[in-house]
A and B are shown apart, each in its own frame.
Chain A
């Protein structure tokens, strides 16, 4: 069964600090992996997509990595801001039926 597991479940950090969120998946065959940001009371918004051949990709202060061999991805947030407070959801698409498997998300709170 395809599964996506994220850790930690929740995280509190001080403004300006860095953090790394983890995503492990068992989806096979693999097509792509996306990280979404969901602000409270809003719908998720895509931050970045990782395909099989990509190891790292940056979008501003967000950097995603992918290790297709170990089936792990991470999202690193640099110099966190209060506006980074949100849930971060890892979503993996399989390569045959093109189905999506969602992680349960990491809830990040950035405080002063």
Chain B
């Protein structure tokens, strides 16, 4: 696609429910990132996928959070048993990663999650 696409754009859920957020990266971009941004705060790294390599999950805050990506396509971020503290905007970014590349990140518009 022309840009990074995320869905849903807004999600309101009840505490304890599971949610699934989707990211469709720019075609051909091998790197994909998930970030969390709480209101008025900076971006927190969650997870990074690079091609078929093992993902860097070092930013996932708890085992309630997981993410998958098949090859160089769509990624899904799943939050199980949501808590109010999970309320945030979840941003996805993709990058054309190549040797010596500058690695500009192209961000989606984000998925705003509200846990009641």
Contact = CB atoms under 8 A, between A and B. Distances in A.
Are A and B physically bound partners?
yes
Interface of A: 32, 34, 36, 41-46, 49, 51, 89, 91, 93, 98, 100, 102-105
A80 to B, nearest CB: 22
B96 to A, nearest CB: 13
4 closest cross-chain pairs (CB), A and B:
A43-B107, A104-B42, A102-B43, A46-B104
Interface of B is mostly: loop
Interface residues of B, number: 16
B86 to A, nearest CB: 19
A96 to B, nearest CB: 14
Given A51-B102, A105-B42, 6 more contacts: A43-B107, A43-B110, A49-B102, A89-B42, A91-B105, A103-B42
Contacts of A93: 103
Interface of B: 4, 33, 41-43, 45, 91, 93, 102-105, 107-110
A29 B112 CA distance: 35
A104 B41 contact: yes
Given A34-B104, A49-B102, A43 B93 contact: yes
B42 A43 contact: no
A22 to B, nearest CB: 15
Nearest to A101: B45
A32 B102 contact: yes
